Structure 1
């Protein structure tokens, strides 16, 4: 059974008009109509509210029986898109941090004073140059991998 049919059956079973059903859920009548006609689907918070208001099990309400319906497919798709978005955000942040660390190493190296003390020992932050290059390489690699994955996923769709 499609999710729209489930909403309509639930509304009719409780002897409610679309307007009354919408008032109970604090949405518009058009939203209920869109749900019933499968033009739009409610978000997860709304599903929980519907289940609470009408004392329904979320399993039965979302799955609607033994087969997967459009609502379940939407929830699965939304979950995977959320995970993908979080991973993309994490990748961008990590790449940015690595690039900033690389530039900071070069900046510190450029601003630091190199000197020879009375014992004839050279004091220099020589390690900052290779570290800066490593951070820059790592940052560019993260962005390159991220961009490649992103463009490959666009080609798939």
Structure 2
């Protein structure tokens, strides 16, 4: 079922970018006939070409294949969490410097 819809998606995405099959074929580095075969579901792009297509259309390869837009959730970082996660790092660095200093002084 995914493969049947893929050709239609590829064609709609290409047309939305106002590109001809020839234009797209030059960007993907395949023949125009290959683009035609993908859009008519006679052949399907390999993984390398799916990645190239996803970059051209500025969507993930998963979105390209599945036809679903993946929502990008905003992650809100609480300031306290940032301080808490940075504090152990800073403390570790300070301990390291103290250890190095003590080793040099004692030796």
User: TM-score scaled to structure 1, two decimals?
Assistant: 0.40
> Are positions 1:7 and 2:14 aligned together?
no
Cα deviation digits, residues 79-115 of structure 1 (max 9, x gap): xxxxxxxxxxxxxxxxxxxxxxxxxxxxxxxxxxxxx
The secondary structure found in structure 1 opposite 2:9 is helix
* Paired positions, count: 66
> Runs in 1 of length 4+ with deviation above 6 angstroms?
none
Q: Does 2:22 correspond to 1:37?
A: no
Aligned to 2:66: 63
Is residue 14 of structure 2 the alignment partner of residue 22 of structure 1? no
**2:52 matched residue in structure 1:** 49
CA distance in 1, matches of 2:63, 2:57: 12
Quick one: higher RCO (CA 8 Å, sep 6+), 1 or 2? 2
Report deviation, 1:60. 1.1
CA RMSD of aligned residues (A): 1.6
TM-score by length of 2: 0.58
Q: Which structure 2 residues correspond to residues 126-145 of structure 1 after superposition, within 5 A?
A: none
Structure 1 counterpart of 2:92: none
- Cα deviation for residue 58 of structure 1 reads 1.7
How far has the Cα of 1:54 moved from its partner? 2.1
Unaligned runs of 5+ residues in structure 2 are 70-107
Q: For residue 90 of structure 1, what is the aligned residue in structure 2?
A: none
Per-residue deviation, 1:57 = 1.4
Offset of residue 28 of structure 1: 0.3
**Per-residue deviation, 1:34:** 0.1
